[in-house]
Homo-oligomer: A and B are copies of this chain.
Amino acid sequence: MKKTQNSRSVTAEDVAQLAGVSRAAVSRTFSNNGSVAPKTRVKIIQAASELGYQINFLAQGLNRKRSQLIGVIVARLSDPFRSSLLEALLSEIQRKGYQALVTEVQGADELEMTIRRFTQFRVSGVIVTSGQPPADLVKECVQHNIPVVGINRHMDIPNVDFVCSNNNMAALLVSKQFINSGCTSVGWLNYKGSTWSGINRGDTFRQVIINKNIFNESDFLEIITELDGYEGGRRAAHDYCKQIKKVDGIYCANAQLACGFLDGMRENGFDAPINFQIIGFDNTLQTSQYSYRLTTIHQDVSTTAQRVLTCLETRGQNPHIIQRFEEIPVKLIIRNTSPHTDNIRT
């Protein structure tokens, strides 16, 4: 480990000199591109490790017009599901040899700024887990040949792929579970200004329940809270307790709402599964804990992440393939807030 100078970093040129070859050869060995004789290859590798050479990714990316960066747009990581999704994405991104650039956004305008910045880093792809990518921005990405994929959302933007948990399958599983366990009326809990997937989960549930004539309109209750999250669910429960119309089973758009609703009911002296049934979404760690043991739909974040990366890579190679909408199967995890029937148990 010797240094030519103190603060100058080791370049391919330095390695080339020590190995007695041209810097082109060095580039070839490290990028596994052109051909290089086994013997010189060894010499170069040796020289490189002696000097502690490492590729400058900025220079590499500049030249290739593409970095090994992947931009990830997230929001509200305080929601355990969202952080577990990010965790899965990170692990997949790293496994494939990329490096994640992550940005948390609040509003739609920030999303725009962010995507723009991603393109300035010449990322190999953009993953959107929050908000909807503005059509014209996506166009910019396409111009730079940067693939974009959205998770748990779906819009008709050409050239953008979407990977989404199968909400229809979830609705089917949930309604089946409610029916099998004797419910004669059901409810849907979501918050005002919900995400695309929240709304979609509600729509598919309603479709299954009402359009298929399983229940009447009057046996279906829709609760839309002002607030999101635990507190939203909790308040919804307090309001619910004050009103007359009650239902046997409640399906919630996400885990936070479900836990909050359950706790709110408990504060009023009601509990599941004694007084009602409740099924959540997400299957976050928290929902499995003793104090909740929530029956819930499980989203498979790791296959979601894998599919996302696959979409990114395939579209990276061929930008003109048609838009894809991949649905990831979900599972129903039956715990304590809904009785065991013939469904899968955990």
Question: In the complex the two chains form, is A121's CB within 8 Å of B57's CB?
Answer: yes
The residues of B that contact A83 with a CB separation of less than 8 Å are 77-78, 80, 83, 86
A55 interface residue, CB < 8 Å from B? yes
Interface-facing stretch out of A21-29, A191-199, A274-282, A288-296: A288-296
A221 interface residue, CB < 8 Å from B? no
The residues of B that contact A6 with a CB separation of less than 8 Å are 143
A94 interface residue, CB < 8 Å from B? yes
A120 interface residue, CB < 8 Å from B? yes
Question: A120 to B94, alpha carbons, bound, how many Å?
Answer: 15
Question: In the complex the two chains form, is B78's CB within 8 Å of A102's CB?
Answer: no
Question: In the complex the two chains form, is A91's CB within 8 Å of B62's CB?
Answer: no
Question: In the complex the two chains form, is A86's CB within 8 Å of B80's CB?
Answer: no
The size of the chain A interface, using a CB distance under 8 A, is 55
Question: A62 to B64, alpha carbons, bound, how many Å?
Answer: 13
The residues of B that contact A117 with a CB separation of less than 8 Å are 57, 99
The residues of B that contact A286 with a CB separation of less than 8 Å are 286
A217 interface residue, CB < 8 Å from B? no
Question: In the complex the two chains form, is A87's CB within 8 Å of B78's CB?
Answer: yes
Determine which of B7, B56, B84, B103 lies in contact with A99 in the assembled complex, contact meaning CB atoms within 8 Å: B103
Q: Which of A248-281 contact B (CB under 8 A)?
A: 259-260, 263-264, 266-267
A338 to chain B, nearest CB (A): 18
Having A58-B59, A80-B83, A259-B289, one finds 10 other A-B pairs with CB under 8 Å, namely A6-B143, A9-B144, A77-B83, A78-B83, A78-B84, A91-B104, A99-B103, A99-B117, A267-B290, A286-B286
Binding site for B on A (CB under 8 A): 6-7, 9, 52, 54-59, 61-62, 65, 67, 69, 77-78, 80, 83-84, 86-87, 90-91, 94, 99-104, 116-117, 119-122, 140, 143-145, 230, 234, 259-260, 263-264, 266-267, 285-286, 289-292
